[in-house]
Amino acid sequence: MWLIVHFLIIMALSVRVLLRPRRDPASRVAWILFIMALPYVGALVYLMLGEVRPARVATPIKQIESTQRLSLDSLREKLGISEHALPGFAIGESISGYSPVGGNTGYLLDDSNATINAIAADIDAATDHVHLLFYIWLPDNNGCKVVAAMVRAAQRGVSCRVIVDDLGSRSFIRSEHWSAMEQAGVQLARAQPIGRVMIRILKGRVDVRNHRKIIVIDNKITYCGSQNCADPEFAVKAKYAPWVDAVIRFQGPVVRQNQQLFLADWLACTHEDKRELAYQPMSPVAEGFVAQVIGTGPQNHYSATPELFSTLMFSARRELIITTPYYVPDDAMQAALCTSARRGIATTIVLPARNDSWFVGAASRSYYSELLEAGVTIYEYVGGLLHAKTLTVDGQTTLIGSANMDRRSFDLNFENNILFHDVQLTGDVRHRQLRYIAQSKPVTQAEVAAWGVRYKLRNNVMAILGPVL
């Protein structure tokens, strides 16, 4: 009887794994082997982590028709975008439905503290509304600086809405600062609420998170990048500090796209439909660059995020520079990065030397040998935890935002990025990337070859577990 039960558990879960949509073959094999090896533990773990079902899914809000909205042909003809850059915008539109729009301006903030100071100043200057979404909001110096600005804004009659991730910002939600904003009139919401853990587990993975960082002020200003609402010293993981982030402050039609993304999340969290805010008339803007918001999440088609990264890699003709804290690619993205180098493109990736996730750090290094053999230049940043998520192509096109190049961002997280085409602003981002490289150590093939067997074994085992975890 025990053997029959044992067999039935394995067969039932294996069939469920095989029938589950949106799962790559490597992930199916990994889960089935895990269940066969440990049927009862495997059954429990699969029910907890094996199926991606967000607590609430944002309802898409359609893009606003605008005179600034341009076809891909118009982008090339009217704004001088190279033909090689067009596929990135096309794949971005296929993912979240936002077309590239012209007439945008922006500048790269100096560092984390400068970003928070700029956000607080813009909140103080707000006259209609302030919308903030952070994965992590800490009750530290920078976190409290933004709290104070939000309280002041609410008290003078500005409509203030805040979304934080229920897990990432759990300490902040329990703090007096959360209550202070509520008492001042700030409307608050928690994304992907956990509630009772055991009940939440039965509904799907607890670690499906809203990892976005969105700031929209008066439908005129938006920020996009890797910055959480916290000090660079990042008290919850201080031994990896400082956290090194990159954020751009944008103005122009792309602001409205970030507004729509925020409002979709607000609708999912609160069931309050405020889409009329995205339809407010916008003031005429001066000529500027083309930009596009790309929002991703578990509701997107399978492999949406890897497709975006891979398309940008294949679009490079001279140079490709990437910074990311977490690199655990799928096969297609790893192949795209290797192919870029093999095509003769100067291909560089910068990762932190010390990673706050030992699992991801180990898995990342399992890919080093193949990358180096293909001709990819790898650097490890030693000045703290490099948290900036940037990709520049040929000194002309940039992708910046919250998405990492790992399985969590691909399958589990709600993310937001902005893709733009502008030589000057891309040059600023590229200059920042080169500054990171100057504070990094190069990784050589000889160094990787000298790694011990136990070290390589650990790295490769962590990479195998990537599709499972």
Which DSSP letter does residue 218 get?
T
Is 213 among the catalytic positions?
yes
Q: For the chain, what are the domain ranges?
A: 2-49, 72-81+103-296, 304-465
DSSP designation for 346? E
According to CATH, the topology of domain 304-465 is Endonuclease; Chain A (3.30.870)
Q: Residue 106: name the closest of 221, 217, 227, 259 by CA.
A: 221
Residue among 211, 220, 274, 421 flagged as catalytic: 211
Q: Beta 159-165 vs 129-134: how paired, if at all?
A: parallel
Q: Select which of 394, 406, 411, 422 is catalytic.
A: 394
H-helix segments, 126-190: 141-155, 170-173, 176-184
245 in catalytic set: no
Residue 211 designated active-site: yes
3-class secondary-structure state, position 151: helix
Query: What amino acid is encoded at 233 in this protein?
Result: E
Q: What is the pLDDT along the chain (469 residues), one digit of tens a residue?
A: 767 766 777 777 777 777 766 666 767 777 777 777 777 677 677 766 666 666 665 555 554 444 455 566 666 666 567 788 899 999 999 999 998 998 999 999 999 999 999 999 999 999 999 999 999 999 999 999 999 999 999 999 999 999 999 999 999 999 999 999 999 999 999 998 886 665 666 666 677 899 999 999 999 999 999 999 999 999 889 899 999 999 999 999 999 999 999 999 999 999 999 989 988 777 666 689 999 999 999 888 778 999 999 999 999 999 999 999 999 998 899 999 999 999 999 999 999 999 998 989 999 999 999 999 999 999 999 989 999 999 999 999 999 999 999 988 998 899 999 999 999 999 999 999 999 999 999 999 999 999 999 998 999 888 877 655 5
DSSP secondary structure letter of residue 98 = P
Nearest-angstrom CA–CA distance, 345 and 19: 40
For 37, phi then psi, to 5°, come to -75, -40
Q: Which of 177, 387, 406, 422 is catalytic?
A: 387
140 flagged as catalytic: no
| pLDDT recorded at residue 315 | 96
Provide the token pair at 423.
């030589």
CATH code matching the domain that covers 72-81+103-296, chosen among 3.40.50.720, 3.40.50.300, 3.40.630.10, 3.30.870.10: 3.30.870.10
Helix and strand numbers (H, E) in the chain are 19, 17
Task: Return the exposure string of 305-336: e unless at least 16 CB atoms fall within 10 Å of the residue's CB, then b.
Answer: bbbbbbbbbbbbeebbbbbbbbbbbbeebbbb
Neighbours of 359 (CB within 10 A): 15
| Spatial separation of the C-alpha atoms in residues 330 and 467, rounded to whole Å | 9
The answer to whether 468 and 30 are in contact (CB under 8 A) is: yes
Nearest to 329 by CA among 287, 295, 358, 368: 368
Cβ-count burial of 213 within 10 angstroms (0-12 exposed, 13-18 middle, 19+ buried)? Answer: buried
Contacts of 364 (CB under 8 A, 6+ apart): 326, 327, 328, 351, 355
Q: Write down the pLDDT at residue 64.
A: 45
Catalytic residue among 389, 406, 411, 421: 389
Residue 311: strand, helix, or coil: helix
- Do 319 and 376 touch, CB atoms closer than 8 A? no
Structure tokens of 30? 């990994």
State yes or no: is 166 an active-site residue: no
Q: N- to C-terminal Cα distance for the chain?
A: 32
Residue labelled with tokens 């399978």: 302
Kindly name the residue from 129, 131, 177, 213 that is annotated as catalytic.
Answer: 213
366 DSSP 8-state letter:
T
Please confirm, yes or no, whether 389 is among the known catalytic residues. Answer: yes
Distance in angstroms (rounded) separating the CA atoms of residues 19 and 340: 35
The token duo for 201 is: 């587990």
Backbone angles phi, psi at 329, to 5 degrees: -80, 165
Residue found by looking up tokens 């002041």 in the block: 152
Is-same-fold flag (72-81+103-296; 304-465)?
A: yes
The burial of 65, by beta-carbon neighbours within 10 Å (0-12 exposed, 13-18 middle, 19 or more buried), is given as exposed
Buried b / exposed e along 231-258 (16+ C-beta atoms within 10 A): bbbbeeeeebebbbbbbbbbbbbbbbbb
Active-site residue (options: 140, 218, 428, 456): 218
Indicate the residue type of 417. N
DSSP three-state, residue 189: strand
Nearest alpha carbon to residue 458 among 346, 375, 377, 360: 360
